[in-house]
């Protein structure tokens, strides 16, 4: 089945920063209001884990009012609904059709068929005509099916659910997350093969700046586009970690310049700072420059 990608989703994947993706409970009006002024690249409006069962109806109402009011600017916004097998998932989806959310984040995904079921429901509503699907990668089955899930209809991004994964795997998670490395890398590979966004899981100790900094650095080294966050205090560290550094930007510009000069001289490669610069290096350099420009535009 050919994957359906909307024009807006394609634009987002190519240019939009995803350095910080902040969870905001859907049943907390003050938090929903405060999020309008936070320096986060994206918001996950949460109707699932952050909302108690007896508060689900109130959460839908408060979130619906917040989305209708708007004011979230250029921040990407997605709503994490409850899974469709729960008593609340379909009610969440029905309540959101008039809000026209940018994306629906589906939890407890295990197969591409789970995504197809949600896509079929969304295809039947005009309110979701331009809405993408994101998926939580939080079960062992999801990891085993990561490639098929990433290529499923409407899927534009993956968010790691590392807490749930650790629980289901019965593994012990240390500072290096060695027990989760296979799952993290599998999802990055699947996301890159499908051309979608990959966001790392949360860091639970939100007052531990050193630990968060280290985990962000690890996530970026693995290839993630950004990190999901549980507290606004984590935003600055994540934004800095997943943004190109001044040295990276400078090197990228010099690589592009050197390669273009080599091409003008009829050469297929260039030499810069004693290293070969090929077309593949220039592709990376152009992506870094584009990302830095997108971040600057967002922050402006």
The set of residues, in sequence order, having a beta carbon less than 8 Å from that of 20 and lying 6+ positions away, is 39, 40, 41, 42, 226, 227, 229, 234, 235, 238, 239, 242
Region of 206 on the Ramachandran plot (φ > 0 left; ψ -120 to 50 alpha; else beta): alpha
CB 19 within 8 A of CB 238: yes
SS3 letters across the chain: CCCCCCHHHHHHHHHCCCCEEEEEECCCHHHHHHHHHCCCCEEEEECCCCCCHHHHHHHHHHHHHHHHHCCCCCCEEEEECCCCCCCCHHHHHHHHCCCCCCEEEECCCCCHHHHHHHHHHHHCCHHHCCCEEEEEECCHHHHHCHHHHHCCCCEEEEEECHHHHHHHHCCCCCCCCHHHHHHHHHHHHHHHHHCCEEEECCCCCCCCHHHHHHHHHHHHHHCCCEEEECCHHHHHHHHHHCCCCHHHHHHHHHHHHHHHHHHHCCCCCEEECCEEECHHHHHHHHHHHHHHHHHHHHHC
Cβ atoms within 10 Å, residue 70: 10
pLDDT of 208 above 90: yes
| Mean pLDDT computed over 277-299 | 93
Percent of the chain with pLDDT over 90: 90
- Are 50 and 23 spatial neighbours (Cβ–Cβ below 8 Å)? yes
Mean of pLDDT values over 3-18 = 55
Reported as a pLDDT band with limits 50, 70 and 90, residue 86 is very high
pTM attached to this predicted model = 0.93
Residues 190-205 have a mean pLDDT of 97
pLDDT band at 13 (very low <50, low <70, confident <90, very high): low
pLDDT band of residue 164 (cuts 50, 70, 90) is very high
Q: What is the predicted pLDDT for the residue at 11?
A: 39
Report pLDDT digits (tens) over 217-268: 999 999 999 999 999 999 999 999 999 999 999 999 999 999 999 999 999 8
**pLDDT value at position 10?**
39
Burial 140-161 (b: 16+ CB within 10 A, else e): eebbebbbebbbbbbbbbbbbb
pLDDT score for 299: 87
Taking the C-alpha atoms of residue 20 and residue 238, their distance in angstroms, rounded to an integer, is 6
Question: In which band, very low, low, confident or very high, does the pLDDT at 3 lie, cut at 50, 70 and 90?
Answer: very low
23-56: per-residue pLDDT in tens?
999 999 999 999 999 999 999 999 999 999 999 9
Degrees to nearest 5, angle at CA 224 with 220 and 226: 85
- For 163, other C-beta atoms within 10 Å of its C-beta total 14
Q: With 0-12 CB in 10 A as exposed, 13-18 as middle and 19+ as buried, what is 264?
A: exposed
CA–CA gap between residue 53 and residue 48 (Å, rounded): 9
Tens of pLDDT, residue by residue over 107-152, are: 999 999 999 999 999 998 888 999 999 999 999 999 999 999 999 9
Decide which of 12 and 300 is more confident.
300
153 falls in which pLDDT band (50, 70, 90)?
very high
pLDDT score for 137 = 98
Q: Is the pLDDT of residue 1 over 50?
A: no
Predicted local confidence at residue 4, as pLDDT:
46
d(CA 205, CA 231): 10
What's residue 16's pLDDT?
Answer: 85
Judged against a pLDDT cut of 50, whether residue 8 lies above it is answered with no
């Amino acid at each position: 089945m050919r994957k359906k990608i909307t024009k807006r989703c394609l634009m987002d994947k190519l240019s939009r920063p995803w350095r910080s993706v902040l969870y905001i409970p859907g049943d907390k009006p003050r938090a929903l209001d405060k999020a309008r002024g936070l320096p986060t690249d994206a918001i996950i409006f949460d109707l699932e884990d952050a909302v108690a069962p007896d508060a689900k109806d109130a959460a839908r109402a408060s979130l619906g009012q917040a989305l209708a009011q708007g004011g979230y600017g250029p921040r990407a916004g997605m709503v994490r609904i409850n899974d469709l097998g729960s008593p609340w998932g379909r009610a969440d989806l029905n309540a959101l059709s008039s809000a026209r959310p940018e994306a629906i984040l589906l939890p407890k995904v295990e197969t591409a068929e789970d995504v197809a079921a949600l896509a079929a429901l969304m295809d039947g509503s005009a309110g979701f005509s331009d809405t993408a699907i994101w998926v939580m990668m939080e079960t062992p089955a999801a990891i085993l099916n990561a490639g098929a899930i990433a290529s499923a209809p409407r899927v534009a991004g993956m968010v790691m659910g590392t807490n749930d994964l650790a629980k289901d795997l019965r593994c012990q998670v240390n500072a290096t997350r060695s027990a989760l490395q296979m799952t993290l890398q599998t999802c990055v590979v699947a996301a890159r093969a499908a051309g979608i966004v990959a966001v790392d899981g949360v860091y639970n100790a939100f007052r531990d700046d050193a630990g968060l900094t280290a985990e962000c650095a690890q996530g970026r080294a693995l290839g993630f586009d950004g990190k999901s966050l549980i507290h606004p205090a984590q935003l600055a560290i994540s934004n800095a970690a997943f943004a190109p550094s001044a040295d990276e930007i400078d090197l990228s510009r010099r690589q592009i310049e050197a390669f273009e000069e080599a091409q003008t001289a009829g050469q297929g490669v260039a030499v810069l700072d004693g290293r070969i610069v090929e077309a593949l290096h220039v592709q990376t350099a152009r992506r870094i420059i584009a990302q830095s420009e997108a971040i600057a535009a967002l922050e402006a």
